[in-house]
Amino acid sequence: SHVISQTLPLAGKVVTITAGPTREALDPVRYISNHSSGKMGFALAEAALSAGATVHLIAGPVQLQAPEGVTHYGVQSAEQMLEQSLALVAQTDIFIAAAAVADYRMAEVAEQKMKKAQGETDLVLRLVQNPDIVATIARHPERPFTVGFAAETQAVEAYAADKLQRKNLDMIIANDVSRTDIGFNSDQNAVTVLWRSHNGVQRHQPEQASKQALASQLINCIVEQFEANKA
C-alpha cells in the first residue's frame, strides 16, 4: 500500500479573523452598535479551517456558533477587539478584518444608568473615534498579510481602493451594501476583491454565491496573494 500525502494550502499557517459588530456602552444598560450578523467572518473562519489553517476568530456579540476547531474570542467593544488582535499579531500569518467595528464610542461612559433630564427634550452625546483595528495591525512591526473589507453604498471601488492605500492593506474586499437584495444581514453577497501589485491595483470579481461558497473563493484569492507576496 502507499500513502498519498496532500498538503492543504494553509497547513501550518495562522489566520486571525475579526467578525460581527462591536458594542459600545453608553451606560451600564445601553449601547451603540450595528446590524452586522457576523456571517461573513464566521464563513471565512470555516473556509480557512478547511484550507488547513489554525484559526482565531475574534467576534463581537453575534447569534452564531464558532465552527468546531476554531478558537473563539468573544469581545464587546472595539478597544477589546483591538487588544485581542494585538495579543495574536505576532503569531498571525494572515489577518482578515471582517468585523463591522463601531466607528465611535462614548467620550465618557456613564457610570450609572442615564436619567432623563427634567424639562429637556433633547440629548446630546459626545462620541470619540475608535482606534482603527485593521490599520493598526497593518502598521505593526510584525505585520501579517492584512485583508480588510469595505462596506460602501456609493463609488464602491473608488472608496475601497482608497481604504486599501490609506490603511496600508495588502487586499480589500469591497461590498456594495446599497443593494438591499444582498449584503449586511443576508446569506448572499456580491463583492469585488482589490489588491496591490507592482502593476498597480488589481481586481477580481468572484461569482455571486452563498456566503459559504464566496468565503472559500475569498480564501483561495487570499492564499494566492499571500504566496505571491512571499515570492
Q: Is 224 exposed, middle or buried (0-12, 13-18, 19+ CB in 10 A)?
A: middle
What is the C-alpha to C-alpha distance for residues 1 and 5, in angstroms, rounded to an integer? 13
| Residue 131 assigned ligand-binding role | yes
176 binds, among Ca ion, ligand CTP, none (CB under 5 to 8 A by kind): none
| Residue 163 assigned ligand-binding role | yes
Q: What is the CA radius of gyration of the chain?
A: 19
| Residue 132 assigned ligand-binding role | yes
Contact with Ca ion (CB under 5 A): which of 27, 79, 93, 103? 103
| Residue 21 assigned ligand-binding role | no
Nearer to ligand CTP, 51 or 134 (CB): 134
Nearer to ligand CTP, 149 or 195 (CB): 149
Please, what is the minimum distance in Å from the beta carbon of residue 72 to ligand CTP? 17
Nearer to ligand CTP, 51 or 96 (CB): 96
C-alpha cell at 143: 505585520
Using CB under 6 A as the criterion, which residues of the chain lie in contact with ligand CTP when the complex forms? 18, 78, 97, 99, 101, 103, 130, 132-134, 148-151, 163
What is the C-alpha to C-alpha distance for residues 22 and 133, in angstroms, rounded to an integer? 12
DSSP string for residues in 60-78: -S-S-PPPTT-EEEE--SH
Query: Catalytic site residue 175?
Result: no
| Residue 226 assigned ligand-binding role | no
| Positive/negative CA dihedral, 92, 88, 54, 211 | negative
54 binds, among ligand CTP, Ca ion, none (CB under 5 to 8 A by kind): none
Please, what is the minimum distance in Å from the beta carbon of residue 164 to ligand CTP? 10
Nearer to Ca ion, 93 or 103 (CB): 103
Residue ranges binding Ca ion (CB under 5 A) = 103
Which positions are catalytic? 34
